[in-house]
Chain A
Amino acid sequence: MDVLLGSRLQFAVAAMFHFLFVPLTLGLSVLTAVFETLYLKTGDEDYKRAAKFWGKLFLINFALGVVTGITLEFQFGTNWRYYSEYVGDVFGSLLAIEATLAFFLESTFIAVWHFGWNRLSPKLHCLAIWLVALGSNVSALWILLANGWMQNPVGYVIRNGRAELESFWAVVTNSFGWMEFIHTVTGAFILSSFFVLGVSAYHLLKGNEVEFFKKSFRVAAVFALVFSLFEVFNGHLHGSEVAKVQPTKLAAMESLWETKKGAPMYLFIIPDEKNERNLVEIGKIPGFLSFLAYHDFSATVKGLKEFPKEDRPPVLLTFLSFRLMVGLGFLFVLLSTLAWLKRNEPEKSPWLLRILLLSIPLPYIACEMGWIVAEVGRQPWIVYGLMKTKDAVSPLAPSQVLISLVAFIVVYTALGIIDFWLLTKYAKKGPDRA
């Protein structure tokens, strides 16, 4: 295996595995904080038990999120040496700021929360979980500003043979990074509320702790609906931003080969990458792609053929991931609307509970698909328009990368299975008795 392919696969494995744990950390920290705040406000013991129950699942998930995050930060250096050398002046500082501002906060106060039930006043204890929620979401902001810079590099100048920082302000106000942040965190909140809905549905179906899980269900249903609707809206804006700054990614997302004025959207497409065309195009909505991208039915959208072959991303993978993500996004609006409508007596709609239980994995799939669109769709660039992925890879021996790739896959699979098993065990067990 060559070093480039091995390093790309390794980064994909490490990043996608890491992102199985991140969204639940971002969202469940907030939901746990909401439950604990409700306990403080109402004095209802069920909310305290809810904070403990969901917090325990949060901790099991958090552990793997943390340890798999460390490897990602170091992989820029181990596998992408020339990237680190060329853009480290801009990119490195964002990672360092993330650690200084967010990781210390998050890791310190999760321990305060975990070990502090009997040691701190209820208010201080509740503050701890809010600080964890703040820390993890601030960390998302900085890492996505870093990724946003790879997608849309701004505020730099080429000097001394590398990209040097010219305006820190431009880097931290990069609208692409903020769009990614909003889109990712909203997705994480959807995932977390579906997690709470699904686990609650399991217990409601079994008739366990009905009053307790109805309370969790109600909070999560409101969360799910608000954020599912917001995701459609901000996702649309994010897509128009992609159209502006990453025309090759947009064309791949839509499998659009020819540049078109008033480009249509097709409900169903089978791309044929080899022959640079679509094998099947069904369900034409005239001008709709132009409208989505530029808010103008007659705007011109650039097709893939506009760009040299070596500058195009893999079309099929980007296209399918995008379609799947968007389809799931609309499904979440539907499901969360149903959950919201039934939020006061969910136990009377077992069919909905069964669907919600089976839906737990869906937001996970949507999040991973989103990252495939973002990262595969950016190819062949590691920094869009500035540096190609193939020029970024470290001068390693193929055997080194092969061994580490296999190690990552084996270790992560084993840890993933153990974590899944523990999460299931504690989720099924339900809350401790009042």
Chain B
Amino acid sequence: MEQNVFQVIWFVLWGVLWIGYFVLDGFDLGAGVLLPKLASNETERRIVYNAIGPFWDANEVWLITAGGATFAAFPKAYAIMFSGLYSALLLLLFCLIFRGVAIEFRGKQNDAGWRSKWDLVFVASSLVATLLLGVAFANIFRGLPIDEKGIIRGGLLYLLNPYGLLGGVFFVVMFAVHGALWVAYRSTGALYHRAKGWVLKLWPVEAVLAVLFLLVSFRSTSLWNNYFKHPFLFVFPIVAVVALILIPILVKRDSALWAWISSALFIVGAASWGLAGLFPNLLPSTLSPKNSLTVFNSSSSLLTLKVMTVVAFVFVPIMLCYKFWVYKTFSGKLTEETVYGEDAY
């Protein structure tokens, strides 16, 4: 019984880490996806890179921590999921390698050809990474063909089913809006107006995809079952819908920061909707419910869960404090002179 409590706590913490990752690295990835549309010259490109400059690396640590937490709290799920999704996961990791290297190396050589090659690497790796994340989570919601030995009977191509692809495209558009809002928040002039324009252009697409994803999930997944059992959970999709509606209203009023916060809340609401629907599964099996990986059959021992809980409750708040301070200190408007200085990308 006590173990069940900690298993549920860790499902929530696991979800929080993934949601933190989507909200934070989401705007980095989105800015990468939209770079060629947003920036029209070298100065503007530099502003986009520096808009995410002090943050992207630490944001990616949320992914590493989410991976580590899966390993620590649900080792069986980590083992089966990561080996079963081998090719997709390694492709994601290679994208993240290319992306990090592109950001760091682009400014290290004063040569337009060098920079434009790394720009291409940055955009392509951001796009593929985002798409893969969406495809992966849609497939987790939908379930994978896990057999009784815990082997996933389907490779990279299996993941590219219509529901998985819908999830991928939804993530790309959602992150692109999120990234454009962040760039708008940190820029002025032509770049600001272009970023704002792209938010308004992409928003209807985002809204249609969101509704479509919610509806198709009725047919393709069993996510909604929890909602009819526990109607209070409807708070998550409601938060998502309200936040989504607020985005264009706030953008038109030129409050880019609040619009970005709305977009962040939309991501929180949408991801919470999916994860709350998934519970108690971590990865459902489409072959037999007996083969599904749940928080109850995949977790660590009670002692490990307790140790990890103490670590999380002590160190995550500390981390949130210094991260908040860094965001406060480093997120002013960027101008031409700041991005050509010595302490810029």
Contact = CB atoms under 8 A, between A and B. Distances in A.
A394 B78 contact: no
B87 interface: yes
Contact of A92 (B75, B315, B330): B75
A241 interface: no
A89 B300 contact: yes
A101 interface: yes
B325 to A, nearest CB: 9
B329 interface: yes
A67 B319 CA distance: 21
A112 B303 contact: no
Contact of A101 (B57, B108, B315): B315
Interface string B111-146: 000000000000000000000000000000000000
A82 B65 CA distance: 21
B315 to A, nearest CB: 5
Given A100-B65, A111-B54, A422-B105, A67 B78 contact: no
A407 B90 contact: yes
A41 B315 CA distance: 32
B228 interface: no
Given A103-B64, A107-B61, A119-B329, A63 B105 contact: yes
B205 interface: no
Interface in A411-434: 411, 415, 418, 422, 425-426, 432
A156 B219 CA distance: 45
A347 interface: no
Interface in A73-107: 73-74, 76-79, 81-82, 84-85, 88-93, 95-101, 103-105, 107
A158 B100 CA distance: 41
B101 A112 contact: no
A66 interface: yes
Contacts of B326: 108, 111-112
Nearest to B307: A168
Contact of B93 (A64, A70, A111, A168): A70
A164 interface: yes
Interface string B303-345: 1100110011001100100110010011000000000011110
Most buried by A among B55, B304, B319: B304
Interface residues of A, number: 69
Contacts of A119: 329-330, 343
A74 B307 contact: no
B83 A92 contact: no
The A interface is mostly helix, strand or loop, or mixed, namely: helix
B58 interface: yes
A74 B329 CA distance: 33
Contacts of B301: 89, 159-160, 164-165
Given A77-B79, A98-B68, A400 B104 contact: no
Given A63-B105, A100-B65, A100-B311, A107 B83 contact: no
Contacts of B73: 92, 96
Contacts of A396: 83, 86
Contacts of A174: none
B75 to A, nearest CB: 2
Contacts of B341: 118
A77 B83 contact: yes
B342 A76 contact: no
Given A78-B82, A81-B79, A103 B61 contact: yes
Given A63-B105, A64-B101, A99-B65, A81 B58 contact: no
Nearest to B56: A111
Given A74-B67, A77-B82, A107-B58, A93 B72 contact: yes
Contact of B57 (A66, A82, A88, A422): A66
A88 B80 CA distance: 12
Contacts of B155: 400
A415 B97 contact: yes
Contacts of B343: 114-119
B304 to A, nearest CB: 5
Contacts of A276: none
B79 A84 contact: yes
Contacts of B58: 104, 107-108, 111
A361 B295 CA distance: 48
A99 B57 CA distance: 13
B57 A93 contact: no
Contact of A78 (B61, B83, B109, B304): B83
Given A63-B105, A116-B343, A422-B105, A90 B89 contact: no
A59 B345 CA distance: 11
A349 interface: no
B267 interface: no
A92 to B, nearest CB: 3
A68 interface: yes
Contacts of B75: 84-85, 88-89, 92
B330 A115 contact: yes
Contacts of A90: 304
A140 to B, nearest CB: 16
Given A111-B326, A112-B54, A165-B301, A74 B101 contact: no
A360 interface: no
Contacts of A103: 61, 64-65
Contacts of A88: 71-72, 75-76, 78-79, 300
A73 B68 contact: yes
A73 B307 contact: no
Interface of B: 53-55, 57-58, 60-61, 63-65, 67-69, 71-73, 75-76, 78-83, 86-87, 89-90, 93-94, 96-97, 100-101, 104-105, 108-109, 151, 155, 300-301, 303-304, 307-308, 311-312, 315-316, 319, 322-323, 326, 329-330, 341-344
Given A95-B72, A96-B69, 13 more contacts: A64-B101, A67-B96, A81-B82, A82-B79, A90-B304, A93-B300, A99-B65, A100-B316, A115-B343, A159-B301, A165-B301, A400-B87, A403-B87
27 contacts: A66-B100, A70-B93, A81-B79, A82-B79, A84-B78, A84-B82, A89-B300, A91-B71, A92-B71, A92-B78, A93-B304, A97-B308, A105-B322, A107-B60, A108-B322, A109-B322, A111-B54, A111-B57, A112-B54, A112-B329, A115-B53, A116-B343, A118-B341, A159-B301, A165-B300, A165-B307, A422-B105
